[in-house]
Amino acid sequence: MNQKTFFAFIGPSVLMMVLFIALPLATVLKQSFYINQPIYETLEVETCTPTFTGQVCSVDLKTVPVIGENGKVLKKNEFVGLLNYQNVIEYPRVIAAFADKSWRQFMTIDFWKALRFTLSFTLITLPLVLLFGLLIALCINNAAKSIRGPVIFVSLLPMIITPVIGALSIRWLFIGDGILTSFLEWWFAKDIAMFAQAWTIEFMMMMYRVWHVAPFAAIVFYAGLQTVNQDTVESAIIDGANRWEKLRYVLLPHLMPLIVFVTLIHLMDSYRVFEEVVGFSSQAYVISLQWLTYDFLMVDQSGNRSISRASASAMLTMIGIVLLLIPVLKGVWRDYKDKRL
C-alpha cells in the first residue's frame, strides 16, 4: 500500500479521534487549571411568596449573579494553576492524617476514600474475572457440540444487561426485605441488612462486576481456544500430559496474549467503576473516583456545578489508569521486542 492510500484510509478515523477524543480531553485538561464562576452582585430584591397563611413579601439583600446583555449569566474564567487538583486531593488533610498516624482519618477524605475502593475493586475483580472467564470458556469448549450454542447464549446473558440496570436489579434483590435478603435471613435465621455497612455493599459490587464481565472474558478465551494447534494438544496427550498439564503448558501459553488483552480492558473498565455506586446509592458508605467526578458535576440546590474540580478529578482518574496499565504494557512491549529479535 502506498503512503497516500494509507493516509486516505486512516485519515477519517484520525480526524474523528482528534475531534471526539483529543479535543475534549484537551479542554478538560485546560479547564482543570481554570476556575469558571459567575460574577455576583449584592442587590436588594423584593420577593412575594405564598405561605400557609397567605402571601408574604420581603425585601432582602441577596447575592445574585449578574446577567449580561445577551441574557446569559456573566462568567469569568480565571487561571488558578494547581488549585483544583489541590482541592480534590486535599493534601493538608492528608498530612494531618499522617501526622496522627490515623488510617481512619485518612479514609474520611473523599478522594482517598474513593481511590482506596477503586483500587481494591479493580485489583480484586481482575483475577476473579480471568479465572471465571477461563472456567466458562473451558466449559463451553468441552460441552457437546449439540448443546454448545445454547450454553454460549446463556453464559453471555449477563453481558447483555446494561450495567446500571443490572446494578439496580441487584439492589432490588437485596434491599430491605428483598427476596434474596429474605432468603438469607431464613437461611441464617437472623436479621440481615445488606445495605447497612460498607463491606457487604463492596462485596455485592465486586460479585456483580465479576458476574457481569466474566462472560466477556469467556467469549474471548473461547475464541482463542478454537485456534489452539490440535497437533500440539495431541502430542501433549501422547506424552502423558494430564488435564492440568495440558492447560498449564499448552492452552495457557497459547491464550497469554488474550489474557493480557482482557486484563488491559478490565483494568481500564473497572477503574472507572461507577454504575455500582449509583445503582446501589452507596455514597454514604462506598464511593469511587468516577462517582466523585460525577458528584462534582451535578448541579447543587443553587444551580452551581463544580466543573473545575470535576475536570481535575477526571484528569487524575486518567492518570491513575495510565499508571495501572504501565506494568502490563511494559510486559507486552518486552514480548514484542523479544519476538522481533
Partner 1 sequence: MFLKKLATAVVVTSIASGAWAGCAFENGTELKTLTAGFDSWKAVTSAMAECGNVTSTLDQDFKDVQADAFAANPSLYQIGGVNNSAFSILVNAGTIRPLDDLVAKYGSHLKPSQLIKVNGQTMAIAMQVNNQHLMYREDVFKELRIPEPKTHADMVAAAAKIAKYTSLSVAATPIGGTYAAGWNLGEEFVNNYLGNGGEFFGEGNAPSINNATGVATLNTMKDLAAYMDPEYLVSESTYVQQQFQQGKIAMATLWATRAAAMDNAEESTVVGKVKMASAPMGSTRAAATNWWDGVVLAANMTDEQADAAFRVVMEGIDTEMVLANNDAAVWLVDGYVAGSAAQGALDTATNGAAPYPSSLAGMGAMHSALGNGVGAFLTGEKDAATALADIEAAYIIAATESGLM
Bridge-based pairing of strands 75-79 and 54-65 is unpaired
Among 37, 141, 182, 232, binds partner 1 (CB under 8 A): 37
Is 40 a binding residue for partner 1 by CB under 8 A? The answer is yes
Contact partners, residue 25, CB within 8 Å, separation at least 6: 318
Is 193 a binding residue for partner 1 by CB under 8 A? The answer is yes
Is 179 a binding residue for partner 1 by CB under 8 A? The answer is no
Among 69, 191, 231, 338, binds partner 1 (CB under 8 A): 191
Total chain residues near partner 1 (CB under 8 A): 65
> 88, 101, 147, 109: which is closest to 319 by C-alpha?
88
Is 72 a binding residue for partner 1 by CB under 8 A? The answer is yes
Contact partners, residue 78, CB within 8 Å, separation at least 6: 34, 35, 36, 37
In the chain, DSSP assigns E strands to: 34-38, 40-51, 54-65, 75-79
> What 3-state class would DSSP assign to 48?
strand
Is 47 a binding residue for partner 1 by CB under 8 A? The answer is yes
> What 3-state class would DSSP assign to 340?
helix
Is 111 a binding residue for partner 1 by CB under 8 A? The answer is no
Is 46 a binding residue for partner 1 by CB under 8 A? The answer is yes
- Whichever of 202 and 295 has its CB closer to partner 1, that residue is 295
> 150, 135, 118: which is closest to 217 by C-alpha?
135
By CB under 8 A, the residues from 301 to 340 that bind partner 1 are 301-304, 306, 308-309
Cell output for 189? 435465621
State the Cα–Cα distance between residues 124 and 318, nearest whole angstrom: 20
State the Cα–Cα distance between residues 49 and 12, nearest whole angstrom: 57
Is 54 a binding residue for partner 1 by CB under 8 A? The answer is yes
Is 230 a binding residue for partner 1 by CB under 8 A? The answer is no
- Whichever of 2 and 301 has its CB closer to partner 1, that residue is 301
- Whichever of 140 and 310 has its CB closer to partner 1, that residue is 310
- Whichever of 27 and 108 has its CB closer to partner 1, that residue is 108
Smallest gap, in angstroms, from Cβ of residue 93 to partner 1?
8
- Whichever of 122 and 282 has its CB closer to partner 1, that residue is 282
Among 195, 221, 222, 271, binds partner 1 (CB under 8 A): 195
- Whichever of 5 and 302 has its CB closer to partner 1, that residue is 302
- Whichever of 47 and 235 has its CB closer to partner 1, that residue is 47
- Whichever of 80 and 264 has its CB closer to partner 1, that residue is 80
Smallest gap, in angstroms, from Cβ of residue 156 to partner 1?
24
Alpha carbons within 13 A on the beta-carbon side of 95: 4
Is 180 a binding residue for partner 1 by CB under 8 A? The answer is no
Contact partners, residue 77, CB within 8 Å, separation at least 6: 34, 35, 36
Cβ proximity of 150 and 144 under 8 Å: no
Contact partners, residue 26, CB within 8 Å, separation at least 6: none
By CB under 8 A, the residues from 273 to 292 that bind partner 1 are 278-285
State the Cα–Cα distance between residues 177 and 188, nearest whole angstrom: 14
Catalog residues that contact partner 1 under the rule CB under 8 A: 35, 37-40, 45-55, 57, 60, 62-65, 67, 71-73, 76, 84, 87, 93, 104, 107-108, 110, 164-165, 168, 175-176, 191, 193-197, 278-285, 294-295, 298-304, 306, 308-309
